[in-house]
Amino acid sequence: MWVSSLASILPLVVLAFALPSKDCEHQVKEEVVPPRGWTIFGPAPSDHFINLRIALPQSNFNLLEQHLYEISDPYHERYGAHLTKEEVEDLVAPHPDSVAAVNEWLSSHGIQEEDISRSSAGDWLAIRVPVWLVEKMLDTKYHIWKHATSGDYIVRTTSYSLPKDILDHVELIQPTTMFGTFKRLKSTIHSISPTNSQVQAQNQPPVSDPVTGLTVDASCNTTITITCLQQIYNAVGYTPSAHVGNSVGIAGYLGDFANRADLQSFFEDQVPAAAAVNATYNFVSVAGRLRFLGFSSWLTLSKVVSTHKIPLTLAWSLTSILSLRSWLDFMLSHPNPPLAISTSYGDDEQTVPESFAKRACAGFAQLGTSIWARFTTSNSTLCVPQVPAECRSRSLPETGGVGDGDPDPATQTCITNDGQNRTQFIPGFPASCPFVTAVGGTILFPEQAVAFSGGGFSNYFARPSYQDAAVQGFLNKLPKGTYSGLFNPNGRAIPDVAAQSDFFRVFAAGQPIHVGGTSASSPTFTGFVTLLNDARLKKGLPSLGFLNPLFYSTAASGFNDITVGNNPGCGTEGFNATVGWDAVTGLGTPDFAKLVKLVT
């Protein structure tokens, strides 16, 4: 798998010797301690090709961030005045001096303009080069690394350097020090007979929540269906329009894909009107690299909650944490992306270099400033203009409570990856990005927090101002010294919101099964955001865009506060669900009827 033909690299070899490479003293740009679990397997073959991505500094990101918060603040006069794609790109375009300096550096190594792919804003460059040339350019040495647990192999280095005269013109280069293993956020598939549980519940009286006053079918405590979600979240009877320009999207990675036949079975089971018109989805392959290795039943959820009247787009990307960058590039270049997006993939924040995490987070800010919205998951995560089906961020990722994602508490390490081997709660990325909406998990009715709901505080991102009041209130209620040193109380807090996350009835290979995880919470919540967009579009209002400033202010009363449950991990009971925001379920779960009134 490491061998490339001589013919394929000959043009680069000729060019590299045809031009003198830039002779300038190098300085270390980034270095990391080899992460726990990774060991050197051997030297990287010199002719192995690497798809190198180079980030140039974004010239006016601070101004873009200001725009984002102004247009997302319901108290601001500019609320809802999203920027155009071109206006966003102007704000993040690199300075001409950076472009010229990096072009000259690449040219000195025989890399010409036709060898370079550039993002729409020109702030990211991509080149495909062999190891021997990358090592020369970055004054480093690559190795093949093997992961002890997964058995995965990757080609990486633990440090790289750049000529001093371009050091400030390059923000980061990857893959270099990136050892993260992009993963599904712990979805679980239970081989249960949902039919039996439904039959048993048919003879039970409806269940009422004395706090919300809502009543749902007893079967919803054993099997979650579209009808259950409509009942639990007060959306019974709402009908979206097919003619207001609404849309929803789901991102998929790691070979997961939706199955059209299973989708039809699902519709026949729960949404007969959709089955009758053979409703389906649009599929887009990002970077042309789709592998059919499995199925992801989550991919149906946003669609069915939003109903078959709203166009659904499924977009797949590659198979590592770097896929997130490819996906962002694609979405940022798209002339008409979905208005809400869900994702359910991510990794422990500490396995992603801080420089990459912050730059990827900036990409979510770009999306939020434009005309659409997105979710991701971290325990759940969500982004807006809005994102992903198994994510910890602008929708959510699924984690093992406050732990490192290992569902077995006995084997959770919760050890830092910085060489100091400190015990610490492990936040997830991209859920920890402040420009996405992270979604946590609940279970049963009346609702309570589910134990595997991720939650906690970022070590990379400071707490955004929109969270200050809600999160400080939570911290003030913690007994003094609780988990001292195990989390960063000043970090961006997750999750933001929550939704049902277990006992979902879906179809796989034509058979009904039960599935669970915050990989279900994220697309479920995204579906209701899509309905909120529908309500706004019907009134001639713009789509919601970046959600968090709205949720933590004028829309806060539109959530059902979850006060029961906790998210154990790292040998602790984790955080408790409590009155107000908490690090298990965030602000709570949506009351759609209330939210519609608040946002329209």
Average pLDDT over residues 237-256: 80
Give the pLDDT band of residue 369 (cuts 50, 70, 90).
confident
pLDDT above 90 (res 395): no
Give pLDDT, residue 335.
Answer: 78
Do residues 129 and 231 share a domain?
A: no
Give pLDDT, residue 23.
Answer: 56
Selected residue with higher pLDDT from 587 and 309: 587
Q: What is the CATH number of the domain that holds 299?
A: 3.40.50.200
Question: Which residues is 130 bridged to in the sheet?
Answer: 49
pLDDT above 50 (res 3): no
Give pLDDT, residue 13.
Answer: 38
Average pLDDT over residues 439-460: 94
Average pLDDT over residues 60-66: 95
- Angle at which helices 61-72 and 85-92 cross, to 10°: 140
The CA R_g of the chain, rounded to the nearest whole Å, is 24
**Domain final position from 133, 159, 179:** 179
**E strands present in 430-551:** 436-443, 448-449, 456-462, 491-494, 497-500, 504-508, 511-516
Residue 527 in marked binding region:
no
pLDDT above 80 (res 171): yes
Do residues 120 and 252 share a domain?
A: no
Does residue 577 lie within any of the structural domains? yes
**Domain final position from 147, 179, 211:** 179
Do residues 370 and 233 share a domain?
A: yes
Average pLDDT over residues 219-224: 94
Whether the CA torsion 490, 491, 492, 498 is positive or negative: it is negative
Q: What is the mean pLDDT of the chain?
A: 81
pLDDT above 80 (res 190): no
Average pLDDT over residues 446-452: 94
pLDDT above 80 (res 52): yes
Do residues 264 and 298 share a domain?
A: yes
pLDDT above 80 (res 132): yes
Give pLDDT, residue 63.
Answer: 96
498-536 burial string, b = 16+ CB within 10 Å, else e? bbbbbbbbbbbeeebbbbbbbbbbbbbbbbbbbbbbbbb
Give the pLDDT band of residue 382 (cuts 50, 70, 90).
very low
**Domain final position from 158, 179, 200:** 179
Does residue 64 lie within any of the structural domains? no
Give the pLDDT band of residue 219 (cuts 50, 70, 90).
very high
Ranges 114-128, 142-156, 174-188: which has the least confidence: 174-188
The C-alpha angle with vertex 532 and arms to 465 and 81, in degrees rounded to 5, equals: 55
**E strands present in 255-327:** 282-285, 312-316
**Counting beta carbons within 10 angstroms of the beta carbon of residue 465, is it exposed (0 to 12), middle (13 to 18) or buried (19 or more)?**
exposed
Selected residue with higher pLDDT from 40 and 414: 40
Do residues 141 and 247 share a domain?
A: no
pLDDT tens for 278-335 read 777 777 766 554 332 222 333 434 333 445 567 665 555 444 556 777 788 888 887 7
Do residues 125 and 226 share a domain?
A: no
Do residues 570 and 429 share a domain?
A: yes
Average pLDDT over residues 71-86: 94
pLDDT above 60 (res 9): no
pLDDT above 60 (res 10): no
pLDDT above 90 (res 60): yes
Give pLDDT, residue 589.
Answer: 98
Do residues 201 and 119 share a domain?
A: no
Ranges 229-243, 366-380, 525-539: which has the least confidence: 366-380
Residue 562 in marked binding region:
yes
Does residue 383 lie within any of the structural domains? yes
Give pLDDT, residue 220.
Answer: 95
Give pLDDT, residue 495.
Answer: 95
Residue 582 in marked binding region:
yes
Overall domain count for the chain: 2
Name, in order, each residue with C-beta under 8 angstroms of 186's C-beta and a sequence gap of 6 or more. 398, 399, 400, 405, 407, 452, 517, 518, 519
Give pLDDT, residue 201.
Answer: 58
Does residue 507 lie within any of the structural domains? yes
Give pLDDT, residue 187.
Answer: 42
Do residues 308 and 391 share a domain?
A: yes
Alpha-carbon distance of 515 to 520, in angstroms, equals 8
Does residue 83 lie within any of the structural domains? no
Do residues 327 and 295 share a domain?
A: yes
Do residues 149 and 281 share a domain?
A: no
Residue 404 in marked binding region:
no
Give pLDDT, residue 138.
Answer: 97
Expressed as residue numbers, the domain containing 199 is 189-599
For 93, the 3-state DSSP assignment is coil
pTM of the entire structure? 0.86
pLDDT above 80 (res 14): no
Does residue 1 lie within any of the structural domains? no
Percent residues over pLDDT 70 in the chain = 78
Selected residue with higher pLDDT from 542 and 197: 542
Alpha-carbon distance of 221 to 201, in angstroms, equals 9
Average pLDDT over residues 232-257: 82
pLDDT above 50 (res 418): yes
Do residues 270 and 152 share a domain?
A: no
